[in-house]
Amino acid sequence: SGSGSLNVLRYGRMLKARGLVGVRGAGVAYDGLYYVSSVTSTLKRGEFKQSFELTRNGLVSITPAVPV
């Protein structure tokens, strides 16, 4: 499991809860697909951010590569 935040304008789309998201660059044990358990959006002038919570069963992903 994990948590984080993202800049929606830079990411290119809104993150949606109850879906899957790929994580890359976190290391072999942590890269892979995660379930998005919750998302909170914050909108300010010139800024759109989202905070999120991720979960996954097991440590190592069964997906060989994260789709782009």
Q: What is the dihedral of CA 40, 37, 10, 44, to 10 degrees?
A: 0
Q: Are 53 and 23 in contact (CB under 8 A)?
A: no
Report if pTM > 0.75.
yes
pLDDT of residue 12: 93
Look over the chain and give the mean of its residue pLDDT values, rounded to a whole number: 88
Whole-angstrom distance, CA of residue 9 vs CA of residue 67: 20
Backbone φ, ψ for residue 21 (5° rounding)? -140, 145
Task: Decide if pLDDT at 62 tops 80.
Answer: no
Residue 62's identity, in one-letter code, is I
User: In 1-68, where does DSSP find H-type helix?
Assistant: 8-11
Residue 68 in this model has a pLDDT that exceeds 80: no
| pLDDT average, residue stretch 37-63 | 89
Taking only the tens place, the pLDDT of each residue in 10-32 is 999 999 999 999 888 888 888 88
